[in-house]
A = this chain, B = another copy of it.
Amino acid sequence: MAKCSRTSLSVPFRWIFATVAFFCLGFIAGWFGKPTHPNYASEASTQYIQNFLDEMSTGQIREHLRKFTRLPHLSGTEQNMKYAAQIQKEWQEFGLDSVEMVPYDVLLSYPNASQPNYIAIVDTQGHEVFNTSLAEPIPEGYEDVAEIVPPYNAYSAKGQPEGDLVYVNYGRTEDFLQLERQMGINVTGKIAIVRYGKIFRGNKVNNAMLAGAKGLILFSDPADYSAEGVKPYPEGWNLPSGGVQRGNVMNLNGAGDSLTPGYPAKDYIYRSHPEKGVGLPRIPVHPIGFHDAFHLLKNMRGQLPPNHWIGALNVSYRIGPGFIDDFKNQLVRMNIHTNNQVTKIYNVIGRIRGALEPDRYVILGGHRDAWVFGGIDPMSGAALVHETVRSAGGLLKKGWRPRRTIIFASWDAEEFGLLGSTEWAEDNAKVLQERAVAYINGDSGIEGMHTLRVDCTPSLHTLVYDLTKRIASPEQDEEGVSLYESWHKRDNWTNDRDAPRISKLGSGSDFEAYFVRLGIAAGRARYTKNRKSERYSSYPVYHTVYETFEVVDKFYDPSFKRLRAVAQVRGGLVFLLADSAILPLDATQYAISLDKYARNIAEIAKMHPEEMQQYQVSFDSLFSAVENFTVAAREFHERLRNVNREDPLQVRAMNDQLMYLERAFIDPLGLPGRPFYRHVVFAPSSHNKYAGESFPGIYDSLFDIKHSADQEEAWNEVRRQISIAAFTVHSAAMTLTAPA
């Protein structure tokens, strides 16, 4: 580079000097004027975030919800395919770069059209003296709708078992244990009747099978599906006596399609024989409403159960087996003719190509298939995905393009075991493992009217807090209040810290394969009930025909502001993950959570102090690993603050470390007996798929202690699981340290 210096000079020299000086000035202007590269470090595009959030409209969300809840759209039906085509068309119109339909052929399950499922009480002559309803009373305005599937439990075994009833509360592991050990009742050869709630119904079925029941009846007790002071639908949003919760009863443990575990259900993929499918129940299972449950329970004989087994029906909740006195020769007969059949399903996959890093993916996915209309589940979520696509499409038209690729998904067959999302995850496993930054789930947007609920991986905590401070509270009396403040006020994370509560991810929705199998950072958000005062399970009309557009429009969110706020949270997460130069993931939050989980699981083990000593069980290695991780996370973020944002490779390398952090918790060997659950820190509980367990390998090994005949072997398994957890946390720490 030329040097410019100043001295006293004659005219020609002045002229030379001047030209040189101007050359120098020009050189400097050119040197510094030239951008080092196309916009790599710029946060300029995040000016669009407010634009993006503001564009989301309550009116549009209402319209989307209205449009996609007019007709039943069960997975595998023509109507659900039509909605898929419509979504594809509209996403194209909104401006996505590409939108494709991605079909799979998976095992679904439907009632037999000519032989209805029901439960009967039969007398000694075998006559059916009572039958449960074949359908729910149709809500007003929907009388002419065809194709409403009658209540059933998908994948139930066929059969007509007859037997005495035994009532087993919620059908949880502890309920069956109490029944067998404290009440001395053996369920073998009996038909179990349990109430819905507390845990995933598939776990109830598994427990009933393990206990030897030959059939299982699931009923909705008003104690679990009614809010106080609320009228039944359509006057209010409580469950009517004839309402019945549908739902699948599989124990897939993340396998996806039952016949093609681990691989996508495409035409050339080998399918197991239908009887060798993964997770299929071997007994008939059927759901009923509480009006019918009353008739089955009212004459039961046997012991009075403990108080916490007693629901809100006007019966004694005696546990059986069988009926009293005059009815003692009557039996219960289940008539189940449900068929499993391989059926085509359709995911809709839309993309916005990333401007700078098209090979980095942020995914927003939610399901489209519904048991009937899907007023809440899932369309109150699908409407928000739709609105997010519309808003993003608008920005695209204004010239915005995110740094990374955004993938939008409308999943099919979630209700049949998360099938659409899992098959697509299997189909795309390799590219997702290499490229996926985060998965945000888009299932039901609302299940209550109280405040926000967020379940996510710890590395998203900070982003969720930051984002919700930019979003307005949707509550009527809270103008100028942020969603963060509103949420904080209503649900403080008391035990841990002064911030809004964020929970662990469990399962029961489409993030499962992405998070628990592939190790992609994941989160979900929705509006929820008051966890302290509203004790009913999920929401009263869950999976019934009464999940209509009206239940949202009239009761849950007439202004549609709550749903908009949820859309802003979900969409805002996607936006910031896709468009921030530095990935907004926080490893230090992971450290805090790991520390908490390690202390929790050690506390559980300490309930066996003698055995811990005898078998030399120690959590020191896990604590040491967590400490190691904590230091690595802190140092990582220090380095990240000092990264040269002008250097695209430095930024990319550190972003890669953030992206792969979640992947570091994946053990390809899987959890014991659950090869598709591979996340060492988080997995759905073995006892309730809806709940998340931290350090599930250790947890389950400790749980098994009490059932194990060989205590030494059982405690060795605890030790083994502790060492796997410690190793995994150490590995994750290693991924955060400066490479090389």
State the A residues within 8 Å of B (CB).
1, 15, 18-20, 22-34, 36-38, 40, 97, 262-264, 266, 268-270, 351, 353-354, 356-359, 361, 405, 428-431, 434-435, 620-621, 624, 647-649, 652-653, 656-657, 660, 663-664, 668-669, 675, 678, 716, 719-720, 722-724, 726-727, 731-732, 734-735, 738-740
Contact = CB atoms under 8 A, between A and B. Distances in A.
Given A27-B33, A264-B727, A430 B649 contact: no
Contact of A30 (B18, B26, B657, B678): B26
Contact of A37 (B36, B97, B735): B36
In this complex, which of A36, A653, A660, A740 has the most chain B Cβ atoms within 10 angstroms of its Cβ? A740
Nearest to A269: B723
A359 B740 contact: yes
Given A25-B23, A435-B739, A664-B430, A34 B31 contact: yes
B23 A430 contact: no
Given A19-B22, A30-B26, A723-B270, A739 B358 contact: yes
Contacts of A356: 649
A361 B740 CA distance: 8
Contact of A270 (B19, B24, B30, B720): B720
Contacts of A724: 263, 270
Given A33-B1, A263-B724, A653 B26 contact: no
Given A358-B740, A434-B656, A723-B268, A26 B22 contact: yes
A158 B430 CA distance: 46
B664 A675 contact: no
A434 B662 CA distance: 12
A386 B339 CA distance: 67
A600 to B, nearest CB: 20
8 contacts: A37-B647, A97-B740, A263-B723, A268-B727, A270-B719, A354-B740, A405-B740, A434-B735
Nearest to A653: B359
Given A24-B26, A716-B270, A649 B647 contact: no
A41 to B, nearest CB: 12
Contact of A405 (B358, B647, B739): B739
A653 B357 contact: yes
Given A1-B33, A22-B26, A270-B719, A429 B731 contact: yes
Counting from the closest, the 9 A-B pairs by CB-CB distance are A30-B30, A26-B26, A268-B621, A23-B26, A359-B739, A27-B30, A30-B31, A26-B27, A270-B720
Contacts of A678: 668
Contacts of A1: 33
In this complex, which of A36, A97, A268, A669 has the most chain B Cβ atoms within 10 angstroms of its Cβ? A268
A652 B356 CA distance: 11
A442 B27 CA distance: 52
A109 to B, nearest CB: 23
A254 B648 CA distance: 38
B653 A734 contact: no
